[in-house]
Amino acid sequence: MDRPNYITPAGYAALRQEYEALFAVERPKLVDTIAWAAGNGDRSENGDYIYGRKRLREIDRRLGFLSKRMKAAKVVDPCAQEDRSRVWFGATVTIADEDDNHRTLTLVGDDEAEAGAGRVGWNSPIARALRGSAVGDLRRVVLPAGEREYEVMEISYPSK
């Protein structure tokens, strides 16, 4: 990876929890099912065997992906942010567009982004535009729907 994979402690814990659940619970159950299905004879028309092998490949692929993401992760605690007057990783920012519509966003790691919940990835276009801004700054963002200008209204960080 050419850039660090920033992630909050909660986001890293969620990745770790998913990895553990797949590796320690779901995968062993599936291996048992495949072994049972293989013992039933003809594998070419055995649905449990065919589906089990397909699902096992999906799980192994996801485990590999999660492993790489956790290895590349750089855990950053937003509570420890020293410069709280500017927008950095972990900041919760209230912005207003030209029509005075307010929107609150939290800048989180790309692996924990969920736009519907107001959590945007650190490398998203809007997060890149907001990085380093202070209250009152105007930032222009090129989005798929077109170019927009936002004013930073408020910046906050989680308390220690």
Q: Could you tell me what percent of the chain has a pLDDT over 70?
A: 99
The one-letter amino acid code at 51 reads Y
Residue 41 has pLDDT above 80, yes or no: no
Q: Which band of pLDDT confidence, cut at 50, 70 and 90, is reported for residue 2?
A: low
The answer to whether residue 42 scores a pLDDT higher than 80 is no
Separation in Å, CA 39 to CA 46, 49, 56: 10, 10, 17
Distance separating alpha carbons of residues 114 and 140, to the nearest angstrom: 22
pLDDT of the residue at 151 = 94
Task: Answer whether residue 101 shows pLDDT above 70.
Answer: yes
pTM of the model: 0.80
Q: Tell me the mean pLDDT in the region 45-50.
A: 85
Residue 156 is predicted with a pLDDT of 93
Q: Of residues 70 and 160, which shows the higher confidence score? A: 70
What is the rounded average pLDDT of the residues 116-131? 92
> Torsion-angle region of residue 149: left (phi > 0), alpha (psi -120 to 50) or beta?
beta
Question: What is the tens place of the pLDDT at every residue in 13-38?
Answer: 999 999 999 999 999 999 999 998 88
